[in-house]
């Protein structure tokens, strides 16, 4: 059983719309959550991190965490073609440097 | 300046060969990692070193042996390469706590023929 699960997609969103990416995790000890973006042929780069329940906003990106439901999401407002990439959700347990990744959701923004 | 660098970028080799991948970080981080990303884009931790000491060793065949000569370098040696070893191998580093960002290198694309 995978510890971090994401829909693999592809998820297609029109340019300018809101893209919503979802992730669930199974380890209730998980305390740190990360969203990484990976362009094709490139390495993952951090978009957002979130540690507390609720929303965290950074520019066009909003991360949402609900520990009771073991659910993390990433919203991308005013989607741009440059947002087309694979988005990886990751979780770690406090005191353990191991980062567990989901399989990623491939997002395509349609001009 | 490249924060996390890996060499080589591409590696094409025959089954049964032995190969090494090198990683260096200039971020002053204490912790370094090796990840394997398969053809389905699943990124899985293999090893982690903190200040030259092995702290994470996932279920990886013992043909894979990491070595950290100092905290800025983490190398990966693979013996007797198999077809299933074909993947992209990413090195990463962080300041070492579970709340800190991991910074990834550009990846080494390994193809075993």
Q: Quote the minimal CA–CA distance from A69 to chain B in Å.
A: 21
Cβ-contact B94, B104 below 8 angstroms: no
A111 inside 8 A of chain B by CB: no
Angstrom distance (rounded) from CA A14 to CA A18: 8
Question: Considering only CB atoms, which residues of chain B are within 8 Å of chain A?
Answer: 31, 33, 40-45, 48, 50, 55-56, 90, 94, 96-99, 101-107
A4 inside 8 A of chain B by CB: no
Q: List, for residues B46-100, the tens digit of each pLDDT value.
A: 999 988 888 888 878 999 999 999 999 999 999 999 999 999 999 999 987 767 8
Beta bridge mates, A58? A61
Structure-block tokens of residue B20: 């090494």
Cβ-contact B105, B40 below 8 angstroms: no
Residues of A in contact with B105 (CB under 8 A): 43
Percent residues over pLDDT 90 in chain B: 75
How do strand A11-14 and strand A105-110 relate by DSSP bridges? parallel
Percent residues over pLDDT 90 in chain A: 83
pLDDT of res. B103: 93
Mean pLDDT, chain B, rounded, equals 92
For chains A and B, CB pairs below 8 A equal 59
Percent residues over pLDDT 70 in chain A: 98
To which H or E segment does residue B11 belong?
strand B10-13
What phi and psi, each to the nearest 5 degrees, are found at residue A77? Answer: -85, 155
Q: What is the mean pLDDT of residues A20-47?
A: 94
Q: List, for residues A51-88, the tens digit of each pLDDT value.
A: 999 999 999 999 999 999 999 999 999 999 999 999 99
Which pLDDT band, with edges at 50, 70 and 90, does A13 fall under?
A: very high
How do strand B108-112 and strand B10-13 relate by DSSP bridges? parallel
CB-CB under 8 Å, A96 with B41:
no
CB-CB under 8 Å, A45 with B98:
no
Question: Given a cut of 70, is residue A1 above it in pLDDT?
Answer: no
Q: Quote the minimal CA–CA distance from A41 to chain B in Å.
A: 9
- The partner residue sitting opposite B98, judged by closest CB among A45, A95, A103, is A95
Angstrom distance (rounded) from CA B92 to CA B23: 9
pLDDT of res. A81: 96
Mean pLDDT, chain A, rounded, equals 93
Structure-block tokens of residue B109: 């694309």
A70 inside 8 A of chain B by CB: no
pLDDT of res. B40: 82
Q: Is the dihedral of CA B78, B80, B85, B87 positive or negative?
A: positive
Q: Count the Cβ atoms, other than its own, within 10 Å of residue A73.
A: 18
Q: List, for residues A19-32, the tens digit of each pLDDT value.
A: 999 999 998 888 89
Higher pLDDT, A93 or B14: B14
* CB-based contacts of A59, cutoff 8 Å, min separation 6: none
């Amino acid at each position: 059983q995978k510890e971090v699960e994401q829909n693999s997609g592809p998820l297609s969103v029109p340019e300018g719309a809101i893209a919503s990416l979802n992730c669930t995790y199974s380890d209730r000890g998980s305390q740190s959550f990360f969203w990484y973006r990976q362009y094709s042929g490139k390495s993952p780069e951090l978009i957002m991190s979130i540690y507390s329940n609720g929303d965290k906003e950074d520019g066009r990106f909003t991360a949402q965490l609900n520990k009771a439901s073991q659910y993390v999401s990433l919203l991308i407002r005013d989607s741009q073609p440059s947002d087309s990439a694979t988005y990886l959700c990751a979780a770690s347990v406090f005191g353990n440097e191991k980062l567990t990744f989901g399989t990623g959701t491939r997002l395509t923004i349609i001009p | 300046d490249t924060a996390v660098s890996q060499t080589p970028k591409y590696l094409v080799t025959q089954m049964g060969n032995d190969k090494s991948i090198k990683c260096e970080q200039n971020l002053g981080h204490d912790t370094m990692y090796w990840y394997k990303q398969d053809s389905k884009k699943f990124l899985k931790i293999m090893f982690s070193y903190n200040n030259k000491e092995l702290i994470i060793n996932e279920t990886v065949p013992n043909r894979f042996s990491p070595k950290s000569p100092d905290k800025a370098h983490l190398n990966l040696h693979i013996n007797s390469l198999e077809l299933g070893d074909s993947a992209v191998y990413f090195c990463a580093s962080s300041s070492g706590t579970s709340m800190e960002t991991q910074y990834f290198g550009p990846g080494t694309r390994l193809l075993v023929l």
